[in-house]
Amino acid sequence: MDAVKRLMKYQNYDFKKDFLSFWAVIICVNIGGYILNSSFGRRYVDMRIGMMSKGSNGVSVAGANLIPILIFIIAYCIEMYQESFPLAIGFSSTRRNFYKSVIFSNVIFSMAMAVIEAVLLKADRLIITSIGREPLLDFNYFHIVNDNILFIILSLFLAFLTCCGVFNLLGTLVYKFGYKFWIAFGILATIILNIAGLKNIIWEGGKTLLLSNNFPSYAMKALIISLMTYVLGWLIIRKVDMKSSKN
Amino acid sequence: MINILECKNLNKTFGKTNVLKDISFILEENKIYGLLGRNGVGKTTLLNLICNQVTRDSGEIKLFDEEIFENSKAMENICFIKEKDLPVEGYKIKKIFKIASILYKNWDEEYKDYLIKEFNLDVNKKYENLSRGNKSIVGAIIGLASRAKLTIFDEPSLGLDAAARYKFYNILLEDYEKNPRTIILSTHLIDEVSNLFEEIILLTEGKLMLKEDVHSLMEKAYFLNGREDNMKKVIEGKKVIHKEGFGATTILGIFDSLTREEVKMLKDNNVEVSSMPLQKLFIYLTENVDIKEGKVNGCC
């Protein structure tokens, strides 16, 4: 456990600055979003900056943070195996301990992201209302007014953890197979996109897997996907050889 | 002496190339080992296997009697400094040392600071902007300050100028005396470090050619310089690993024991007997002779 703790400390040390920089930028962008919504709102009624929903006039600036969060998760998970993993193994850590520390870090990361985003979403409603716009309240998995903040945090946490699991698996695949993975991915994507029947099956399957109207089913699906992706990631990384860096 | 590392029947293949073939040896605690071999014989692969950087096809590696694969207790006692760059593009040196201090259990922060001053290293520079020599110094500092019971340096002096190399060797020896540990040095600059080695591990074509105490090895390695006729009687049945001639004079490299009587007989016959430097011995052994079978190439 001592070795896992050291690895956690290392990942935390490495990650803290990126995490704080990310949120500093996002909050600045959000402030800009509110200013634009406020000034556009006075001149052009239809102009909205932020996340919108079909058939609703609502807007959420903080809701639009979900896309950069997703991009941050992808970069974080890929970087984990391109930089942190070889460095940790190079400094005599074991693959098992590293993987345990990755899972712990992902849980903490998802929770931290969920807490900040939930607070921003709750505040977003008040700010949007105060600038005279209609806030977006229904986020499919939770409702900003009807649900309490803990429920929103939990919903977001599960969503982020699932993303971490999926992109952690992507990180392991990219580390193990390198460019070959992207070639295979490109070929597979081309085949799927060009065969109508196959495309529909995958689209419908994805929707069934990801969309859910009730929380227990959503939570169950999120946990199963996370568990499966972390197990698959471990199977890929547990005996992988370190790649030589350039000299 | 306590055994620190035991390798048994190690095999590793990359694609169709069998890089390591049935390697077995035992390393004792608190000794400096020289890992020698020509380019591409599998030295780095062997070190990568010992440090779990690469998985083995078969065989066993035990550190203090514990299998090392995915064993954090065993791995805590190993520090491996590669000749290759660290995978840390864009990191400042102080950040690399900070990470090393977190990950190495027995890290000596004070000693690291002392080494930074000794090598006059600017820790605010980015690793990627360092010269090859300074990158080697970063590796050397990590290896020394890690205080790992088994510290492995793969080409530690790569890119270092002569002054920095000698400073590194002196510091290594000084620290080894104060804080004994097992060190494996893999290098091609054999003459420079031959006085550091206590034992030699020699690899040829992915196999262990020999593992022997440096003194006993050097006691068996001689140059004989004189007329070939005057040496013939003594060298009969001995392993001759080198031969060169200058007119009537012949220089023979012998890798075998010589008795006092034999040495006296040679001297009486005007044959000069001199010891062979380790680097020369390494060259002749890896070039010419299959010692196990006692074959002699090129002469007699």
Q: What is the pLDDT of residue A45?
A: 57
Q: What is the pLDDT of residue A41?
A: 63
Helix, strand, coil tally for chain B in percent (to 5) = 35, 30, 35
Q: Which long-range contacts (CB under 8 A, 24 or more apart) does A207-211 make?
A: A211/A140
Token digits of residue B128: 């990627």
Lowest mean pLDDT among A39-43, A73-77, A93-97, B58-62: A39-43
Q: Calculate how close chain B gets to A16, using CA atoms only, in Å.
A: 13
Q: Calculate how close chain A gets to B85, using CA atoms only, in Å.
A: 5
Q: Of all residues in chain B, what percent carry a pLDDT higher than 70? A: 96
**ipTM of the complex as predicted:** 0.84
Residues of chain B numbered 127-166 and touching chain A (CB < 8 Å)? 132, 142, 148
Tell me if A13 and B51 make a contact (CB, 8 A cut-off): no
- Over range A181-201, report the average pLDDT: 87
- Over range B9-20, report the average pLDDT: 92
E strand spans, chain B: 3-14, 17-28, 32-37, 58-63, 66-67, 78-81, 150-154, 182-186, 199-204, 207-213, 221-227, 240-246, 249-255, 272-275
* Verdict on whether the full-model pTM lies above 0.90: no
Q: Calculate how close chain B gets to A101, using CA atoms only, in Å.
A: 13
Q: What is the pLDDT of residue A141?
A: 84
Tell me if A92 and B103 make a contact (CB, 8 A cut-off): yes
Tell me if B103 and A91 make a contact (CB, 8 A cut-off): yes
A102-134: per-residue pLDDT in tens?
A: 999 999 999 999 999 999 999 998 998 888 878
Q: Calculate how close chain B gets to A239, using CA atoms only, in Å.
A: 7
Cβ(B273)–Cβ(B260) under 8 Å? no
Q: What is the pLDDT of residue B292?
A: 39
A-B C-beta contacts closer than 8 Å: 82
Q: Calculate how close chain A gets to B275, using CA atoms only, in Å.
A: 37
d(CA B24, CA A63): 61
The identity of residue A171, as a single letter, is G
Q: Which of B70, B100, B132 is nearest residue A95 as measured by Cβ atoms?
A: B70
Tell me if B102 and A6 make a contact (CB, 8 A cut-off): yes
Band of the pLDDT at A46, cuts 50, 70, 90? Answer: low
d(CA B17, CA A148): 62
- Dihedral, B286, B292, B293, B297 alpha carbons, nearest 10: 20
The residue written with tokens 């390393």 in the block is: B27
Closest among A215, A6, A191, A15 to A110, alpha carbons compared:
A15
Q: Does A17 touch chain B (CB under 8 A)?
A: no
Interface mutation target, options A8, A15, A92, A100, chain B, most CBs of B under 10 Å? A92
Lowest mean pLDDT among A52-61, A161-170, B285-294: B285-294
Q: Of all residues in chain A, what percent carry a pLDDT higher than 70? A: 92
B37-92: per-residue pLDDT in tens?
A: 998 899 999 999 999 999 999 999 999 999 999 899 999 999 999 988 888 878 99
Q: Which of B70, B87, B99 is nearest residue A96 as measured by Cβ atoms?
A: B70
Lowest mean pLDDT among A88-102, A124-138, A207-221: A207-221
Q: Does B80 touch chain A (CB under 8 A)?
A: yes
Band of the pLDDT at A245, cuts 50, 70, 90? Answer: low
Looking at beta carbons, which residues of chain A come within 8 Å of B147? none
Tell me if B52 and A96 make a contact (CB, 8 A cut-off): no
Q: Does A80 touch chain B (CB under 8 A)?
A: no
- Return the higher-pLDDT residue of B189 and A53: B189
A142-158: per-residue pLDDT in tens?
A: 888 888 999 999 999 99
- Return the higher-pLDDT residue of B247 and B160: B160
Interface mutation target, options B20, B57, B99, B130, chain A, most CBs of A under 10 Å? B99
Residues of chain A numbered 82-111 and touching chain B (CB < 8 Å)? 82-83, 86-97
Tell me if B72 and A3 make a contact (CB, 8 A cut-off): yes
- Over range A75-88, report the average pLDDT: 92
Band of the pLDDT at B7, cuts 50, 70, 90? Answer: very high
B170-198: per-residue pLDDT in tens?
A: 999 999 999 999 999 999 888 888 889 99
Tell me if B87 and A83 make a contact (CB, 8 A cut-off): yes
Phi, psi of B245, deg, nearest 5: -120, 145
